[in-house]
Structure 1
Amino acid sequence: MVAKEVSEAIENDDLEAVKQLSSKVLNPSLIDEHGCNSLHLAARHSGPDLIAFLVNQRGFKATERSNIGATPCHDAAAAGNLEALKWLVRNTTCNVNNQDGTGATALHLACRFHHTQVTEWLLDEAKADSSKVTSSDGLPLHFAVVGGDYDAVKLLLEDDPSSANLQISNGATASYLAAQEGHIEILRLLISEYRGNVKVKAYDGMSVVHAAAQSGHLDCVRFLVDEEKCNPNDRDFDGATPLHYAASQGHDLVIDWLMKVGGAKVTLDNLGGSPLHNAAECNQIECVKVLIRNGCSIEITDNNGLTAAELAKKCFHEKCANIIATYKPQSQHKAS
């Protein structure tokens, strides 16, 4: 096990203290509960001098892997420790394109954790392969989108413009992920400059509008429906529309805009449920109110013959059931 005195010295980048440690406590065979040795730790926290000492004087190898298959290069990239990463790549046999147990490379991790300088160096100097995919078919581009790193997204798209519409294992594209995460500027970049195709759906039939509505990102919903003319009534393979998803997740502002401005209509999913049924089942009281206020009928019955109020009661949401049965809108609020 990596001793506390070792980890403290390394985390403080204290080379002199590390030099004083005996081989008994500073040993490549000693690992923590994650299978990481002192070089992994140094790659996250220390400068190149300390790392050079571990490799050249104490016999640590940059090819050693943790329990999840991460090398010190992976750790340096994930932590944004560019100087450590540079030294490891230039002075050891560690390859920047090595993949960990999930298939992630150093480039994936730099992108995921918003270390743009590391990403730029990996692409420009280390010639990292941006086409490597993880076990879920994720490209570094997908990781950069999820991490919200606009500059890294642009770098990766410049490196390979064709990656804009490549799908991960569930069918999501970079545009879908940007909408899901609410990264509106990245979404605009993908669609406006790199031909991100908003018609490409995930493998369950969810569209980019579904993704934005489910996560409650109204700015993305507005952009997609208003500017990109995406269908606000699109249905996934279960017949659910963006309204259904917004209702389930409690996004009343998205519902209000979609129904008042975006052209969304009340439709039924494959189980006969309206968005009001979704809101009732999930006890989303504000969504219940906004749906009723915008004209969703409380009389609709699903394939089991249940109204939304009856479904709420069946799910033990007594207050929600009562609101559905008795709610009388006091006024109309204009969506903006």
Structure 2
Amino acid sequence: MDEDTLKALVKLTQEGHLSSLEERIASGDSAAVQTVSSKHFGRSGDTLLHYAARHGHLDIVDYLIQRVGMDMEVCNNDYKRPLHEAASMGHHACVSYLLREGAKVDSLKKADWTPLMMACTRRNLQLIQDLLNHGADPALRNKDGWTCFHLACREGEPLVVQQLLLTRPDVWRTESKTGRTPLHTAAMHGCEEVVQILLERCGYTPDCTDSCGVTPFMDAARNGHITVARLLLDKHQASPTAVDTVGAQPVHQVAVTGQQEALCFLVRDLNVDVDQRTTGTQLTALHYAAKEGHTSAIKTLLELGADLHVRDSKRRTALHMACIGQHADTVRTLLQMGLRDTEDASGTTAQQLARKADVVRVFECGS
């Protein structure tokens, strides 16, 4: 078969035109059929069976396996099987068919992802139940140490999370290679219902930390998920002043992400010290907000009572940090607020840290 014909076959498969696909393939000789059954296309190395499964065309999947004789375990360049493709796109009918035909339920694609893991990136409970009923192992881990339970908690579908816990009650006892639990994942993504389930049915210790010392409460706060943060406080006795491995508390982490509502929540509702310093470096939330260029967060911190002139262990002010981050608007705002350029412990002024042209111009123009 020539390249134009092969391209036409791919298009017909993707669009689900079974009768036209049959006609094209039947018009060739046995060698042509053999070419179709073993041909890998493009950089991905997909076969017609991959395309059919990805687009959910069950009739074409059946035709290619039963009539053309394609191997249902054929891999593309990422080691994806057709089952991976169908599961990742939530095509339950194709998944059920492939499983009935004997597809390997726990086959691994690149990075050690199973079809169940890929299915858990969707919210198709019936599909996930089918994989579990065919023996899919929910405890398998990919190269990053994630299980399907991490993924289900990230997606935030309570029924899927409950099904996995029903199938394997201890599935929650898992950590990624960086020490992150499914509770971290659910909190980070603001999945309140899932967090509630995890707190009620699983045995996570309060303020469990990942390899960076980050707690689920920190994850919730720094991503602006106030209701989840409150839930962790009320139901899990989380600490709003826990410290990570670099000595930063939630108030510092929230300043990094510029979450103004979370800053107000920590300072006004929980009475966290707005000028709380990190251990060692003595940085405050104001320093972090300035380095990241979060001008609105700086204004919020000042409204909350932050000291504009506070210095860290190197005697740097927020103005130094804004210049380190090369944020012209933040530098301008700090100068307009009355913060003056001074030397740090090494004798370096904020202006001397300015590198980008627009930051340099702020000083040259006197704000």
- 8 Å CA contact 2:267–2:304 kept in 1: the answer is no
> In the alignment, which residue of structure 1 is the partner of 2:87?
43
Q: Deviations over 1:80-135 (max 9, x none)?
A: 3322210111122x211222222111110111233333223222455352121111
Distance in structure 2 (CA, Å) of the matches to 1:239 and 1:28: 59
In structure 2, relative to structure 1, the CA distance for the partners of 1:46 and 1:265 (3 Å cut) is closer
Deviates more, 1:190-199 or 1:167-176: 190-199
> In the alignment, which residue of structure 2 is the partner of 1:279?
322
Structural RMSD (CA):
2.3
TM-superposed CA distance for 1:28, in Å, is 4.3
Deviates more, 1:2-11 or 1:253-262: 2-11
Larger relative CO (CA 8 A, sep 6+): 1 or 2?
1
> In the alignment, which residue of structure 1 is the partner of 2:334?
291
Sequence identity, in percent? Answer: 25
Deviates more, 1:18-27 or 1:211-220: 18-27
Distance in structure 1 (CA, Å) of the matches to 2:55 and 2:207: 43
Q: Deviations over 1:157-204 (max 9, x none)?
A: 112364441000100001111122121221222123321112211101
Distance in structure 1 (CA, Å) of the matches to 2:223 and 2:353: 31
2:129 is matched with which residue: 80, 86, 91? Answer: 86
TM-score between both structures, scaled by the size of structure 2: 0.80
* Pairs within 5 Å for 1:100-115: 100-115=142-157
- 8 Å CA contact 2:80–2:109 kept in 1: the answer is yes
1:251 is matched with which residue: 281, 286, 294? Answer: 294
* Pairs within 5 Å for 1:1-336: 1=40, 3-22=46-65, 26-57=70-101, 59-92=102-135, 94-127=136-169, 129-160=171-202, 162-236=204-278, 237-298=280-341, 300-312=342-354, 315=355, 317-324=356-363, 327=366
Distance in structure 1 (CA, Å) of the matches to 2:112 and 2:69: 23
- 8 Å CA contact 2:207–2:216 kept in 1: the answer is yes
Distance in structure 1 (CA, Å) of the matches to 2:357 and 2:118: 50
Q: Secondary structure at the match of 2:233?
A: helix
- 8 Å CA contact 2:264–2:304 kept in 1: the answer is no
Q: May I ask how many residue pairs the two structures share in their alignment? A: 322
In structure 2, relative to structure 1, the CA distance for the partners of 1:158 and 1:295 (3 Å cut) is farther
Distance in structure 1 (CA, Å) of the matches to 2:189 and 2:100: 35
Letter of the structure 2 residue corresponding to residue 120 of structure 1? Q
TM-superposed CA distance for 1:252, in Å, is 1.1
Deviates more, 1:21-30 or 1:110-119: 21-30
Distance in structure 2 (CA, Å) of the matches to 1:221 and 1:26: 58
5+ residue gaps, structure 2, are 1-39
Q: Deviations over 1:30-67 (max 9, x none)?
A: 2122221111112223544432322332x321121112
5+ residue gaps, structure 1, are 329-336
Q: Secondary structure at the match of 1:42?
A: helix
- 8 Å CA contact 1:28–1:60 kept in 2: the answer is yes
Q: Secondary structure at the match of 2:64?
A: coil
- 8 Å CA contact 1:108–1:139 kept in 2: the answer is yes
Letter of the structure 2 residue corresponding to residue 309 of structure 1? Q
- 8 Å CA contact 1:40–1:71 kept in 2: the answer is yes
Q: Secondary structure at the match of 1:155?
A: helix
Distance in structure 1 (CA, Å) of the matches to 2:270 and 2:210: 23
- 8 Å CA contact 2:90–2:119 kept in 1: the answer is no
- 8 Å CA contact 2:99–2:134 kept in 1: the answer is no
Higher gyration radius (CA): 2
